[in-house]
Structure 1
Amino acid sequence: MTRAIIMLGCVLLAGPALAQSAGEKTGVNSMLGVAPTTADFVKEVAISDMFEIESSKLAEQKGNAREQSFAQRMVTDHSKTSAELKQLVTSGKVKAEVPAALDSSHQSKLNKLKDASGKDFSSDYDSYQVSAHKDAVSLFERYAKGGDNADLKDWAGKTLPALQHHLDMAQELDKAPSVGQSSK
Protein backbone atom coordinates (compact mmCIF):
# COMPACT_ATOMS: atom_id res chain seq x y z
CA MET A 1 0.00 0.00 0.00
CA THR A 2 2.81 2.38 0.90
CA ARG A 3 4.50 1.64 -2.41
CA ALA A 4 1.33 2.48 -4.29
CA ILE A 5 1.02 5.82 -2.51
CA ILE A 6 4.67 6.63 -3.16
CA MET A 7 4.29 5.70 -6.86
CA LEU A 8 1.17 7.84 -7.13
CA GLY A 9 3.01 10.77 -5.55
CA CYS A 10 5.92 10.37 -7.96
CA VAL A 11 3.57 10.28 -10.93
CA LEU A 12 1.75 13.41 -9.79
CA LEU A 13 4.98 15.28 -9.07
CA ALA A 14 6.71 14.28 -12.30
CA GLY A 15 5.18 17.17 -14.22
CA PRO A 16 1.89 17.67 -16.02
CA ALA A 17 2.74 15.97 -19.32
CA LEU A 18 4.36 12.96 -17.71
CA ALA A 19 1.69 12.68 -15.01
CA GLN A 20 -1.07 12.58 -17.60
CA SER A 21 0.63 9.98 -19.76
CA ALA A 22 1.83 7.82 -16.89
CA GLY A 23 -1.52 8.26 -15.19
CA GLU A 24 -3.33 6.91 -18.23
CA LYS A 25 -0.94 4.00 -18.62
CA THR A 26 -1.30 2.94 -14.99
CA GLY A 27 -5.02 3.64 -14.63
CA VAL A 28 -4.42 6.27 -11.95
CA ASN A 29 -6.19 8.95 -13.99
CA SER A 30 -9.26 6.76 -14.34
CA MET A 31 -9.37 6.07 -10.60
CA LEU A 32 -9.01 9.77 -9.82
CA GLY A 33 -11.36 10.90 -12.61
CA VAL A 34 -8.60 12.95 -14.28
CA ALA A 35 -9.03 13.77 -17.97
CA PRO A 36 -6.40 12.31 -20.30
CA THR A 37 -4.22 14.57 -22.41
CA THR A 38 -5.38 15.06 -25.99
CA ALA A 39 -2.53 12.86 -27.25
CA ASP A 40 -3.41 10.05 -24.81
CA PHE A 41 -7.11 10.33 -25.63
CA VAL A 42 -6.54 10.13 -29.39
CA LYS A 43 -4.15 7.19 -29.02
CA GLU A 44 -6.46 5.23 -26.73
CA VAL A 45 -9.56 5.90 -28.83
CA ALA A 46 -7.81 4.88 -32.05
CA ILE A 47 -6.48 1.65 -30.53
CA SER A 48 -9.83 0.88 -28.94
CA ASP A 49 -11.63 1.39 -32.27
CA MET A 50 -9.11 -0.81 -34.12
CA PHE A 51 -9.54 -3.56 -31.53
CA GLU A 52 -13.34 -3.31 -31.62
CA ILE A 53 -13.38 -3.54 -35.41
CA GLU A 54 -10.88 -6.40 -35.73
CA SER A 55 -12.22 -8.49 -32.84
CA SER A 56 -15.79 -7.98 -34.06
CA LYS A 57 -14.88 -9.07 -37.58
CA LEU A 58 -13.74 -12.32 -35.98
CA ALA A 59 -17.00 -12.54 -34.02
CA GLU A 60 -18.99 -12.11 -37.24
CA GLN A 61 -17.34 -15.36 -38.40
CA LYS A 62 -16.88 -17.33 -35.18
CA GLY A 63 -19.50 -16.04 -32.77
CA ASN A 64 -22.98 -17.26 -31.96
CA ALA A 65 -26.01 -15.45 -33.44
CA ARG A 66 -26.17 -12.84 -30.65
CA GLU A 67 -22.43 -12.13 -30.93
CA GLN A 68 -22.66 -11.87 -34.71
CA SER A 69 -25.43 -9.30 -34.48
CA PHE A 70 -23.55 -7.33 -31.80
CA ALA A 71 -20.32 -7.58 -33.82
CA GLN A 72 -21.94 -6.13 -36.95
CA ARG A 73 -23.04 -3.12 -34.90
CA MET A 74 -19.55 -2.72 -33.41
CA VAL A 75 -17.86 -2.80 -36.83
CA THR A 76 -20.28 -0.18 -38.18
CA ASP A 77 -20.22 2.13 -35.16
CA HIS A 78 -16.49 1.94 -34.44
CA SER A 79 -15.62 2.42 -38.13
CA LYS A 80 -17.68 5.61 -37.96
CA THR A 81 -16.00 6.92 -34.79
CA SER A 82 -12.59 6.01 -36.18
CA ALA A 83 -13.29 8.02 -39.34
CA GLU A 84 -14.57 10.97 -37.29
CA LEU A 85 -11.47 10.96 -35.08
CA LYS A 86 -9.16 10.82 -38.10
CA GLN A 87 -11.08 13.72 -39.67
CA LEU A 88 -10.61 15.84 -36.53
CA VAL A 89 -6.87 15.18 -36.67
CA THR A 90 -6.38 15.63 -40.44
CA SER A 91 -8.44 18.86 -40.39
CA GLY A 92 -5.94 20.33 -37.95
CA LYS A 93 -8.57 20.83 -35.22
CA VAL A 94 -6.78 18.24 -33.07
CA LYS A 95 -2.99 18.12 -32.80
CA ALA A 96 -2.17 14.47 -32.18
CA GLU A 97 -1.00 11.34 -33.94
CA VAL A 98 -3.37 8.51 -34.73
CA PRO A 99 -1.58 5.17 -34.27
CA ALA A 100 -1.65 2.83 -37.24
CA ALA A 101 -1.47 -0.44 -35.29
CA LEU A 102 -2.66 -2.03 -32.08
CA ASP A 103 -0.50 -1.90 -28.97
CA SER A 104 0.91 -5.19 -27.67
CA SER A 105 -1.86 -5.69 -25.09
CA HIS A 106 -4.68 -5.42 -27.62
CA GLN A 107 -2.75 -7.43 -30.23
CA SER A 108 -2.31 -10.22 -27.69
CA LYS A 109 -6.08 -10.29 -27.02
CA LEU A 110 -6.79 -10.32 -30.75
CA ASN A 111 -4.35 -13.21 -31.27
CA LYS A 112 -6.08 -15.14 -28.48
CA LEU A 113 -9.44 -14.62 -30.22
CA LYS A 114 -7.99 -15.75 -33.55
CA ASP A 115 -6.91 -19.03 -31.96
CA ALA A 116 -10.13 -19.63 -29.99
CA SER A 117 -13.39 -21.23 -31.05
CA GLY A 118 -16.75 -22.21 -29.62
CA LYS A 119 -17.31 -21.49 -25.93
CA ASP A 120 -13.72 -20.29 -25.48
CA PHE A 121 -14.16 -17.69 -28.21
CA SER A 122 -17.51 -16.56 -26.81
CA SER A 123 -16.22 -16.29 -23.27
CA ASP A 124 -13.17 -14.23 -24.31
CA TYR A 125 -14.98 -12.04 -26.83
CA ASP A 126 -17.85 -11.26 -24.48
CA SER A 127 -15.60 -10.37 -21.54
CA TYR A 128 -13.27 -8.30 -23.75
CA GLN A 129 -16.27 -6.32 -25.00
CA VAL A 130 -17.50 -5.52 -21.49
CA SER A 131 -14.03 -4.51 -20.35
CA ALA A 132 -13.26 -2.45 -23.47
CA HIS A 133 -16.54 -0.57 -23.28
CA LYS A 134 -16.18 0.15 -19.55
CA ASP A 135 -12.75 1.62 -20.32
CA ALA A 136 -14.11 3.59 -23.28
CA VAL A 137 -17.01 5.05 -21.29
CA SER A 138 -14.60 6.16 -18.55
CA LEU A 139 -12.17 7.62 -21.09
CA PHE A 140 -14.87 9.56 -22.97
CA GLU A 141 -16.57 10.78 -19.78
CA ARG A 142 -13.30 12.11 -18.42
CA TYR A 143 -12.32 13.83 -21.67
CA ALA A 144 -15.81 15.27 -22.23
CA LYS A 145 -15.68 16.83 -18.75
CA GLY A 146 -12.08 18.01 -18.62
CA GLY A 147 -10.39 17.64 -21.99
CA ASP A 148 -8.18 20.46 -23.25
CA ASN A 149 -9.31 20.56 -26.91
CA ALA A 150 -12.80 22.06 -27.40
CA ASP A 151 -13.58 20.23 -30.66
CA LEU A 152 -12.46 16.88 -29.32
CA LYS A 153 -14.22 17.49 -26.01
CA ASP A 154 -17.47 18.19 -27.89
CA TRP A 155 -17.05 15.07 -30.01
CA ALA A 156 -16.37 12.96 -26.91
CA GLY A 157 -19.59 14.22 -25.31
CA LYS A 158 -21.62 13.49 -28.45
CA THR A 159 -20.10 10.00 -28.82
CA LEU A 160 -20.52 8.99 -25.18
CA PRO A 161 -24.22 7.92 -25.30
CA ALA A 162 -23.49 5.41 -28.08
CA LEU A 163 -20.61 3.94 -26.05
CA GLN A 164 -22.81 3.67 -22.97
CA HIS A 165 -25.35 1.81 -25.12
CA HIS A 166 -22.58 -0.48 -26.41
CA LEU A 167 -21.61 -1.24 -22.80
CA ASP A 168 -25.21 -2.13 -21.94
CA MET A 169 -25.37 -4.41 -24.99
CA ALA A 170 -22.03 -6.04 -24.12
CA GLN A 171 -23.13 -6.69 -20.55
CA GLU A 172 -26.28 -8.40 -21.84
CA LEU A 173 -24.16 -10.42 -24.25
CA ASP A 174 -21.94 -11.50 -21.36
CA LYS A 175 -25.00 -12.70 -19.39
CA ALA A 176 -26.29 -14.87 -22.23
CA PRO A 177 -25.85 -18.61 -21.82
CA SER A 178 -22.91 -20.05 -23.71
CA VAL A 179 -23.33 -22.56 -26.48
CA GLY A 180 -24.33 -25.88 -24.96
CA GLN A 181 -25.72 -24.39 -21.74
CA SER A 182 -29.41 -24.34 -21.06
CA SER A 183 -31.00 -21.06 -20.06
CA LYS A 184 -32.90 -21.11 -16.83
Structure 2
Amino acid sequence: MKRLVIAVGCILLASPALAQSVGEKTGINSALGVVPTTADFVKEVAISDMFELESSKLAEQKGNAQEKSFAQQMVTDHTKTSNDLKGMVNSGKVKAELPMAVDSSHQSKLDKLKDQSGKDFSSNFDSYQVSAHKDAVSLFERYAKGGDNSELKDWAGKTLPALKHHLDMAQELGKAPSVGQSSK
Protein backbone atom coordinates (compact mmCIF):
# COMPACT_ATOMS: atom_id res chain seq x y z
CA MET A 1 0.00 0.00 0.00
CA LYS A 2 2.87 2.36 0.83
CA ARG A 3 4.40 1.71 -2.58
CA LEU A 4 1.13 2.59 -4.28
CA VAL A 5 0.86 5.86 -2.36
CA ILE A 6 4.47 6.71 -3.17
CA ALA A 7 3.98 5.84 -6.84
CA VAL A 8 0.83 7.98 -7.10
CA GLY A 9 2.62 10.82 -5.30
CA CYS A 10 5.53 10.66 -7.73
CA ILE A 11 3.17 10.69 -10.70
CA LEU A 12 1.33 13.72 -9.33
CA LEU A 13 4.58 15.56 -8.70
CA ALA A 14 5.85 14.71 -12.16
CA SER A 15 2.62 15.68 -13.96
CA PRO A 16 3.63 19.28 -14.77
CA ALA A 17 6.94 18.07 -16.19
CA LEU A 18 5.22 15.34 -18.18
CA ALA A 19 2.63 17.79 -19.52
CA GLN A 20 5.38 19.83 -21.13
CA SER A 21 6.59 16.84 -23.09
CA VAL A 22 3.12 15.78 -24.26
CA GLY A 23 2.65 16.66 -27.91
CA GLU A 24 0.95 19.97 -28.54
CA LYS A 25 -1.79 18.44 -30.70
CA THR A 26 -3.26 16.49 -27.80
CA GLY A 27 -4.91 19.58 -26.36
CA ILE A 28 -3.65 18.71 -22.87
CA ASN A 29 -1.11 21.52 -22.92
CA SER A 30 -3.76 23.96 -24.03
CA ALA A 31 -6.13 22.92 -21.24
CA LEU A 32 -3.34 23.23 -18.67
CA GLY A 33 -2.05 26.50 -20.14
CA VAL A 34 1.43 25.02 -20.61
CA VAL A 35 3.72 27.17 -22.76
CA PRO A 36 4.93 25.21 -25.78
CA THR A 37 8.65 24.78 -26.33
CA THR A 38 10.07 26.74 -29.24
CA ALA A 39 10.49 23.51 -31.21
CA ASP A 40 6.86 22.46 -30.58
CA PHE A 41 5.58 25.94 -31.39
CA VAL A 42 7.46 26.08 -34.70
CA LYS A 43 6.35 22.56 -35.63
CA GLU A 44 2.69 23.21 -34.83
CA VAL A 45 2.62 26.59 -36.59
CA ALA A 46 4.23 25.13 -39.70
CA ILE A 47 1.79 22.19 -39.78
CA SER A 48 -1.13 24.52 -39.15
CA ASP A 49 -0.06 26.80 -42.01
CA MET A 50 0.35 23.85 -44.39
CA PHE A 51 -3.09 22.54 -43.42
CA GLU A 52 -4.67 25.97 -43.89
CA LEU A 53 -3.07 26.39 -47.31
CA GLU A 54 -4.04 22.93 -48.56
CA SER A 55 -7.58 22.92 -47.17
CA SER A 56 -8.18 26.45 -48.43
CA LYS A 57 -7.02 25.53 -51.93
CA LEU A 58 -9.63 22.76 -51.87
CA ALA A 59 -12.27 25.23 -50.67
CA GLU A 60 -11.39 27.61 -53.51
CA GLN A 61 -12.38 24.77 -55.87
CA LYS A 62 -15.21 23.03 -53.98
CA GLY A 63 -16.61 25.51 -51.49
CA ASN A 64 -19.59 27.79 -51.63
CA ALA A 65 -19.11 31.53 -52.24
CA GLN A 66 -18.58 32.28 -48.55
CA GLU A 67 -16.00 29.51 -48.18
CA LYS A 68 -14.19 30.58 -51.36
CA SER A 69 -13.86 34.13 -50.05
CA PHE A 70 -12.66 32.86 -46.65
CA ALA A 71 -10.23 30.48 -48.35
CA GLN A 72 -8.66 33.28 -50.44
CA GLN A 73 -8.01 35.24 -47.24
CA MET A 74 -6.52 32.15 -45.56
CA VAL A 75 -4.17 31.50 -48.49
CA THR A 76 -2.95 35.11 -48.38
CA ASP A 77 -2.53 35.29 -44.60
CA HIS A 78 -1.12 31.81 -44.02
CA THR A 79 1.35 32.18 -46.89
CA LYS A 80 2.63 35.27 -45.06
CA THR A 81 2.90 33.58 -41.64
CA SER A 82 4.55 30.57 -43.24
CA ASN A 83 7.11 32.80 -44.96
CA ASP A 84 7.69 34.78 -41.74
CA LEU A 85 8.34 31.59 -39.78
CA LYS A 86 10.64 30.14 -42.46
CA GLY A 87 12.57 33.41 -42.51
CA MET A 88 13.16 33.36 -38.75
CA VAL A 89 14.27 29.71 -38.80
CA ASN A 90 16.45 30.06 -41.91
CA SER A 91 18.15 33.19 -40.52
CA GLY A 92 19.14 31.30 -37.38
CA LYS A 93 17.15 33.63 -35.11
CA VAL A 94 14.94 30.68 -34.18
CA LYS A 95 16.56 27.31 -33.53
CA ALA A 96 14.05 24.71 -34.67
CA GLU A 97 13.29 22.33 -37.50
CA LEU A 98 10.48 22.96 -39.94
CA PRO A 99 8.40 19.89 -40.83
CA MET A 100 8.14 19.12 -44.53
CA ALA A 101 4.57 17.81 -44.42
CA VAL A 102 1.45 17.81 -42.26
CA ASP A 103 1.09 15.14 -39.58
CA SER A 104 -1.20 12.13 -39.99
CA SER A 105 -4.24 13.70 -38.28
CA HIS A 106 -4.15 16.75 -40.56
CA GLN A 107 -3.49 14.55 -43.60
CA SER A 108 -6.56 12.43 -42.86
CA LYS A 109 -8.69 15.61 -42.70
CA LEU A 110 -7.27 16.74 -46.05
CA ASP A 111 -7.93 13.31 -47.57
CA LYS A 112 -11.52 13.45 -46.33
CA LEU A 113 -12.02 16.92 -47.84
CA LYS A 114 -10.55 15.79 -51.17
CA ASP A 115 -13.18 13.05 -51.40
CA GLN A 116 -16.15 15.27 -50.53
CA SER A 117 -18.27 17.87 -52.24
CA GLY A 118 -21.36 19.95 -51.60
CA LYS A 119 -22.82 20.00 -48.11
CA ASP A 120 -20.50 17.26 -46.85
CA PHE A 121 -17.45 19.26 -47.91
CA SER A 122 -18.86 22.47 -46.42
CA SER A 123 -19.79 20.87 -43.13
CA ASN A 124 -16.33 19.39 -42.60
CA PHE A 125 -14.37 22.36 -43.96
CA ASP A 126 -16.29 24.79 -41.74
CA SER A 127 -15.84 22.59 -38.67
CA TYR A 128 -12.11 22.04 -39.34
CA GLN A 129 -11.55 25.78 -39.73
CA VAL A 130 -13.17 26.62 -36.39
CA SER A 131 -11.23 23.88 -34.62
CA ALA A 132 -7.90 24.76 -36.29
CA HIS A 133 -8.23 28.44 -35.46
CA LYS A 134 -9.23 27.78 -31.84
CA ASP A 135 -6.09 25.64 -31.52
CA ALA A 136 -3.95 28.29 -33.22
CA VAL A 137 -5.24 31.10 -31.00
CA SER A 138 -4.47 29.03 -27.88
CA LEU A 139 -1.01 28.08 -29.17
CA PHE A 140 -0.07 31.67 -30.07
CA GLU A 141 -1.50 33.10 -26.82
CA ARG A 142 0.51 30.67 -24.71
CA TYR A 143 3.74 31.25 -26.62
CA ALA A 144 3.27 35.04 -26.69
CA LYS A 145 2.91 35.02 -22.88
CA GLY A 146 5.78 32.71 -22.00
CA GLY A 147 7.82 31.60 -25.00
CA ASP A 148 11.58 31.43 -24.59
CA ASN A 149 12.61 32.99 -27.92
CA SER A 150 12.04 36.76 -27.74
CA GLU A 151 11.72 37.33 -31.51
CA LEU A 152 9.30 34.43 -31.95
CA LYS A 153 7.38 35.49 -28.83
CA ASP A 154 7.00 39.03 -30.24
CA TRP A 155 5.88 37.65 -33.62
CA ALA A 156 3.32 35.38 -31.91
CA GLY A 157 1.85 38.39 -30.12
CA LYS A 158 1.68 40.45 -33.31
CA THR A 159 0.10 37.57 -35.26
CA LEU A 160 -2.56 36.83 -32.64
CA PRO A 161 -5.11 39.53 -33.66
CA ALA A 162 -5.23 38.16 -37.23
CA LEU A 163 -5.76 34.62 -35.92
CA LYS A 164 -8.59 35.79 -33.67
CA HIS A 165 -10.15 37.49 -36.69
CA HIS A 166 -9.77 34.24 -38.67
CA LEU A 167 -11.56 32.39 -35.85
CA ASP A 168 -14.41 34.91 -35.94
CA MET A 169 -14.64 34.50 -39.72
CA ALA A 170 -14.55 30.69 -39.44
CA GLN A 171 -17.36 30.75 -36.90
CA GLU A 172 -19.50 32.65 -39.44
CA LEU A 173 -19.04 29.98 -42.13
CA GLY A 174 -22.32 28.24 -42.80
CA LYS A 175 -24.34 31.13 -41.39
CA ALA A 176 -25.04 32.64 -44.82
CA PRO A 177 -27.75 35.13 -43.77
CA SER A 178 -25.35 36.91 -41.41
CA VAL A 179 -22.35 37.13 -43.74
CA GLY A 180 -20.68 40.49 -43.28
CA GLN A 181 -22.71 41.28 -40.20
CA SER A 182 -21.86 40.74 -36.59
CA SER A 183 -24.33 38.45 -34.86
CA LYS A 184 -23.29 39.78 -31.46
Which whole-Å deviations, capped at 9, do the CAs of 1:31-83 have from their partners, x for residues lacking one?
Answer: 11111000000000000000000000000000000000000000010000000
* Partner in structure 2 of residue 41 of structure 1: 41
Which whole-Å deviations, capped at 9, do the CAs of 1:73-107 have from their partners, x for residues lacking one?
Answer: 00010000000000000111100000000100000
> What amino acid is aligned across from residue 155 of structure 2 in structure 1?
W
The residue correspondences of 1:89-100 to structure 2 (distance < 5 A) are 89-100=89-100
TM-score (normalised: structure 1): 0.86
Q: Secondary structure at the match of 2:30?
A: helix
CA RMSD of aligned residues (A): 2.1
Q: 1:10 to 1:83 in 2, by over 3 A?
A: farther
Quick check: 2:20–2:29 contact (8 Å CA) kept in 1?
yes
Moved more, 166-175 or 120-129: 166-175
Identity of aligned residues (%): 80
* Partner in structure 1 of residue 21 of structure 2: 21
Structure 1 residue 140, shift from structure 2 partner: 0.2
Quick check: 2:39–2:97 contact (8 Å CA) kept in 1?
yes
* Partner in structure 2 of residue 122 of structure 1: 122
Distance (Å, rounded) in 1 between the aligned partners of 2:66 and 2:86: 30
Q: Structure 2: which 5+ runs fail to align?
A: 1-6, 178-184
Distance (Å, rounded) in 2 between the aligned partners of 1:11 and 1:72: 47
Structure 1 residue 174, shift from structure 2 partner: 3.8
Distance (Å, rounded) in 1 between the aligned partners of 2:135 and 2:37: 16
Distance (Å, rounded) in 2 between the aligned partners of 1:10 and 1:152: 32
Q: 1:118 to 1:87 in 2, by over 3 A?
A: same
